[in-house]
């Protein structure tokens, strides 16, 4: 495991079956979602910093290769979320983890992910066909109003965030004493932010990628969405927890492969700077709104 090539060779030779597949798929899906998320935060922030560029960014999302990539991205989001719940479950009930249950849960996660993904893939594929292939999609009307969604978003964001914070703060070791160092906090944050992120991210994907679709998103749509304070709170919670979750996951992945002491000290600092910078850009855009 000391080098990337050795890891890939060992991973190819190691016959870990479902446990190994779950581990690899979870990491690949998580990194793919993180890459898209970083790009998505920056392009959405143009509604405040460079509003004239937002239409050009959306035009890129409407191209056929990117739309196909988003269909695959939805599969990654679904699998990563469900597999994360599986990890949290076994963390809480280690007595139920064994070779047989691990295999059953893996295939259960795969089946659930496929069942949830197929309707989304159909609707997104239909939009791709109507808009990019036959070019026979009906004219879109006014942007969709979202007052009810805003109320639901506020309730989910605030309630789930409070639960996450309370669970992390109240954590005790099995012996009953407090044990909190940086890695402890990050381990807890990954678990409980994962509980929060599944509903937050899935609602966001359902609304923007499936119900509205990329061809229905415009500067007016974003302005209407952020005209309601509920959606701004929802998006702030989504930004805060999702990007931090992803960047810490990337830190964990890098720590598996980087062995040089200098790089091991430098890369976490670089990730911290990137996380702060991109989060700040996204937060300013959400607070400032569409200009």
Q: Give CA 186 to chain center in angstroms.
A: 17
Residue 168: CA atoms inside 13 Å, Cβ hemisphere, count? 22
With beta carbons less than 8 A apart as the criterion, state whether 34 and 246 touch.
yes
Percent of the chain clearing pLDDT 70 (strictly above): 82
Q: Where are the alpha helices (DSSP H) in 206-228?
A: 219-226
Give the tens place of pLDDT for each residue, 226-245: 888 878 888 888 898 899 99
Please state the domain count of the chain. 1
The dihedral through the CA atoms of 269, 179, 24, 117 has a sign that is: negative
Q: What confidence tier does 259 reach under pLDDT thresholds 50, 70, 90?
A: confident
Burial of 181 by CB count in 10 Å (0-12 exposed, 13-18 middle, 19+ buried)? exposed
Domain that holds residue 263: 4-288
Give the tens place of pLDDT for each residue, 109-164: 999 999 999 999 999 999 999 999 988 877 655 455 554 555 565 566 666 666 66
pLDDT at 171 (0 to 100):
57
pLDDT at 203 (0 to 100):
84
Q: Rounded CA gap, 184 and 163, in Å?
A: 18
pLDDT at 155 (0 to 100):
61
The dihedral through the CA atoms of 177, 181, 186, 189 has a sign that is: positive
Q: Name residue, tokens 């690899």.
A: 24
Task: State the average pLDDT for the chain.
Answer: 84
DSSP code for 145: P
Please give the structure tokens belonging to residue 174: 């099995």
Give the tens place of pLDDT for each residue, 62-75: 999 999 999 999 99
DSSP 31-62: HHHHHHHHHHHHHHTHHHH-HHHHHHHHHHHT
| Cβ density class 113-143: b for 16+ within 10 Å, e for less | beebbeebbebbeebbeebeeeeeeeeeeeb
pTM of the full structure: 0.84
């Amino acid at each position: 495991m000391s080098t990337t090539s050795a890891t890939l060779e060992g991973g190819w030779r190691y016959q870990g079956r479902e446990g190994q597949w779950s581990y690899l798929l979870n990491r690949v899906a998580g990194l793919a979602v993180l890459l898209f998320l970083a790009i998505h935060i920056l392009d959405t922030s143009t509604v405040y910093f460079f509003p004239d560029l937002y239409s050009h960014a959306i035009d890129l999302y409407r191209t056929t290769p990117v739309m196909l990539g988003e269909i695959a991205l939805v599969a990654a989001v679904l699998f990563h979320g469900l597999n994360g719940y599986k990890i949290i479950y076994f963390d809480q009930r280690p007595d139920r983890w064994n070779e047989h249950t691990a295999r059953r849960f893996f295939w259960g996660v795969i089946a659930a992910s496929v069942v949830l993904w197929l309707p989304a893939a159909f609707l997104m594929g239909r939009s791709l066909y109507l808009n990019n292939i036959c070019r026979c999609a009906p004219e879109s009307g006014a942007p969709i109003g979202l007052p009810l969604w805003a109320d639901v978003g506020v309730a989910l964001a605030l309630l789930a965030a409070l639960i996450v914070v309370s669970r992390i703060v109240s954590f005790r070791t099995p012996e009953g004493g407090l044990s909190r160092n940086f890695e402890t906090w990050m381990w807890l944050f990954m678990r409980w932010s994962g509980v929060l992120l599944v509903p937050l991210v899935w609602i966001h994907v359902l609304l923007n990628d499936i119900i509205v679709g990329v061809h229905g998103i415009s500067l007016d749509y974003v302005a209407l969405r952020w005209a309601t304070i509920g959606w701004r709170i929802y998006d702030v919670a989504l930004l805060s927890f999702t990007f931090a979750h992803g960047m810490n996951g990337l830190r964990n992945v890098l720590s598996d492969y980087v062995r040089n002491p200098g790089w091991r000290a430098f890369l976490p600092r670089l990730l911290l700077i990137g996380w702060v910078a991109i989060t700040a850009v996204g937060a300013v855009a959400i607070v400032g709104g569409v200009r």
